[in-house]
Structure 1
Amino acid sequence: MVALNTTEVMDIIPNRYPILYIDYVDEIVPDESLIATKNVTINEPYFQGHFPHNPVMPGVFIIETMAQAASILILSSPQFKNKTAYMTGVDKAKFKRMIKPGDVMKVHVQFDKMRERMGTVKVATYVDDQLATSAELMFVVSDVEQTK
């Protein structure tokens, strides 16, 4: 079990501000599972318009946060080191609870299927130990190395 800070996360995935949504990784078991944290704050740019008097994290940004957490797990595998993972599909997405400023979103990722450079992961987000979102994400890993 390993933990990663923000700088270590940025060493693995290419995302940067303003579209880096993972604050840190609580634990990772390479080739198996990951738990990451996103601290949701009112300072997020999308809260200016979604919705001004009732701020709610947009579903598309929740899915993006899930995809970033999945990318960290995928790209932590030795065979994918320094590569880029791309989301190719979303299945069975369910939004059970609104995510609002002040929430601490825990993202749980579990490898499901893997074949060469593509596969699926099961992802769920929790706030206060309550299921907020779940989905299956499909991905492909580029065979081109990232340049830093």
Structure 2
Amino acid sequence: MKHLDVKQIEEIIPHRHPFLLVDYIEDYEPGEFAVGYKCVTFREDFFRGHFPQEPVMPGVLMVEALAQVGAVAILSLEDMKGKTAYFGGINKCKFRRKVAPGDKLRLETKIIRRKGPVGIGSAVASVDGEVAVEAELTFMIG
């Protein structure tokens, strides 16, 4: 298994705090897949307004975290170094459970198709084995 800490992730993708939504990569294979984690804490900026009475991680940020993990998978290829993966689309997205402070969000994105600068990833985020969100993510390399 190949591991990446936050500094190594920052060498691959351009995201930075507070928008870097991946704390570490547990395993990855360049161009194939990546598995990462986001340790959700009460101190996340978005919890101040979403929602103060019942903090819930916004679904769009869970999808973004999955996209960042997918970007690690694709941009870790030697010929992709220094490039940026942009969102091209989100399909078949389903939210299955809330994510709250204290949850450890497991993020897995598999690259299922790629043609030139465009590709598709199959992505699933879960907490303790329970699916929180699943989606098919289209990306474009620029």
Give every structure 1 segment of 4 or more consecutive aligned residues whose post-TM-superposition deviation is greater than 2 Å. none
1:84 paired residue number? 84
Match of 2:69 in 1: 69
Q: What does 1:1-148 correspond to in 2, within 5 Å?
A: 1-142=1-142
Task: Look up the SS of the partner of 2:79 in the other structure.
Answer: helix
Q: What is the alpha-carbon root mean square deviation over aligned residues?
A: 0.7
TM-score (normalised: structure 1): 0.94
CA distance in 2, matches of 1:119, 1:65: 17
Give the partner amino acid of 2:88. Answer: T
Tell me the matched-pair count: 142
For 1:71, what is the secondary structure of its paired residue?
helix
Q: Give the whole-Å Cα distance in 2 for the aligned partners of 1:78 and 1:11.
A: 13
Distance 1:127 1:41 in 2: 14
Q: Give the SS at the match of 1:62.
A: helix
SS, match of residue 7 in structure 1: helix
Alignment-mate amino acid for residue 89 of structure 1: G
Segments of 5+ residues of structure 2 without an aligned counterpart are none
Distance in 2 (CA, whole Å) between partners of 1:37 and 1:87 is 20
Structure 1, unmatched stretches of 5+, are 143-148
- Give the deviation of 1:33 after TM superposition: 1.3
SS in 1 for 2:3: strand
> Using the alignment, how far apart are the partners of 1:47 and 1:105 within structure 2?
16
* Match of residue 145 from structure 1: none
Letter paired with 2:126: Y
Kindly state the Cα deviation for residue 105 of structure 1 after the two structures are TM-superposed.
0.3
- 8 Å contact from structure 2 (residues 121, 138) kept in 1: yes
